[in-house]
Amino acid sequence: MVTPERLSAEIRVRGEPPFARDASVPSLDVDTAIVLLGAGVTAVTHPLLYVKLLIQVGHEPLPPVVGTTMFGRRVLYLPGFFSYAHHIVKVDGKRGLFRGLSPRIMSSTISTMVRGRVRQATPADEQVSGREEVKISFRRVLRETSHEMMVQCLSRVATHPFHVISVRCMAQFVGREDKYRGVFSCIVKIFQEEGPAGFFVGVVPHVLGEIIFLWCCNLLAHFINTYAVDDNFSQAPAVRSYTKFLMGIGVSVLTYPFMLVADLMAVNNCGLAAGLPPNSPIFQSWLHCWSYLSQQGQLFRGSSFFFRRVPVTAVSVE
C-alpha cells in the first residue's frame, strides 16, 4: 500500500516538490503550507489506515458472508472498509474513526520538518534537462538514493515513537480498552512500563521496508526511463514523469510485509488485548513475527480492505 509518507518520500527523491519554490515567497510560508497539506492528507486518509490496522491485527468484528464469484466459485466475503467504518461509528461514534490521529499528525509534521532541514543543508545538484536528464549516470542515481535513504532513516527513527503511540491508540478498539489516552500521557506510560526501547519496537522492519522501497523504486525507474522509453516517442516526457510513481505503487506491494510486521510488533505484548493471546501470539522478535505470518500465509494481511475474500475450502463453514 502506498501511504502518504511514502508518496511524499518518492516525490522528494529527485529534488523539489512538484510545485516550484518561488524566491519571492518566504521560505517559512512554503514550509508551513507543506506541513498543513501533509496534516490534511493524514487526517483524510486516517480512517483507511485505522481499518487497515484492525485487519492487520486480525480483528474481525463482523461475520463473513458466503458468496460466489462470476465463475461460480464459492468464497467467503470478509468485511471491507465500509463495513468496518460503519461498525466503528456504531460503537464509538463518528469521532471514533479518528482515534490515534493526533500522533500521526505529529509524526507527519516532524517528518516534513526533518526532510526540509536536511534538504536545505544539502547542496543542490547542477540542473540538466532534456536528453541529459534522461541519460543520468548510474553513479548519480546511487548517490541520490543513498542520500534519500539516510534522510528516510533519520526521519523514520525520529517519528517512530509517535507511530507506536498511534498504532496502540487504534488497537485499543479490539478489547474496548482505554489504556492509552492522549499523546503525552502515552509517552509517560510507555516510558514507565517499557523504558526508551518501548518507543522503537518494530522500527527495524519499518526502516528496512523503506530502504528496500527507495532502492527498488529509484533503480527500476532509472532503467525504464533510460533503456525502455524511446526518445523518438512523442509522449516520452509524460511517460517518464509517471514512471517513478507507478514503480512506487508496485514496489510498495512487495514491501508491505515489512509494514505489517512493524505494526504488529508495535502492539505485541504491550498489555493490549490486540497484542496478547488468544488474539495474537507473543513474538520474541520481528523475525519471529515474520516467520509466524509466513507459515500462516498472512504476510499480506490488511493489504486490501475493499475486496476481501477467501475460498470456502480454506475455512470451516457451518
What DSSP string runs through 136-197?
A: --HHHHHHHHHHHHHHHHHHHHHHHHHHHHHHHHHHHHHHT-----SHHHHHHHHHHHH-GG
Residue 23 lies in a domain: no
Residue 317 lies in a domain: no
Residue 194 lies in a domain: yes
Residue 316 lies in a domain: no
Residue matched to cell numbers 514507565: 192
SS3 of the chain: helix, strand, coil, percent, to 5: 65, 5, 30
Rounded Cα–Cα distance for residues 100 and 46 (Å):
9
Residue matched to cell numbers 509522449: 235
Residue matched to cell numbers 518494530: 202
Rounded Cα–Cα distance for residues 76 and 65 (Å):
5
Rounded Cα–Cα distance for residues 42 and 54 (Å):
18
pLDDT value at residue 15: 41
Contact 304, 54 (CB under 8 A): no
What's 251's DSSP letter? H
- The CA angle 248-250-256, to the nearest 5 degrees, is 90
- The Cα diameter of the chain in Å comes to 69
Q: Model-level pTM?
A: 0.82
Residue 271 lies in a domain: yes
Strand order from edge to edge, sheet including 74-77: 65-68, 74-77, 309-311
What's 284's DSSP letter? S
In total, how many domains does the chain have? 1
Per-residue pLDDT of the chain in tens (318 residues, 90 and over written 9): 555 555 444 444 444 444 444 544 455 566 678 888 888 899 999 999 999 999 999 888 888 887 777 777 777 888 889 989 999 999 999 999 999 999 999 998 888 888 777 766 665 555 444 455 545 577 788 888 888 888 888 889 999 999 999 999 999 999 888 888 888 989 999 999 999 999 999 999 999 999 999 999 988 888 887 777 666 666 667 777 778 888 888 899 999 999 999 999 999 999 999 999 999 999 999 999 999 999 998 999 988 877 787 755 544 444
Residue 173 lies in a domain: yes
Contact 137, 196 (CB under 8 A): no
CATH for 45: 1.50.40.10
CA nearest to 210, candidates 142, 277, 156: 156
> Which domain range does residue 211 map to?
30-122+133-305
Ranges of beta strands (E only) in the chain are 65-68, 74-77, 309-311
Residue 290 lies in a domain: yes
Residue 301 lies in a domain: yes
pLDDT value at residue 312: 55
Alpha-carbon distances of 100 from 43, 177, 182, 242, rounded to whole Å: 10, 13, 9, 33
Residue matched to cell numbers 541520490: 144
CA nearest to 196, candidates 164, 150, 156, 152: 164
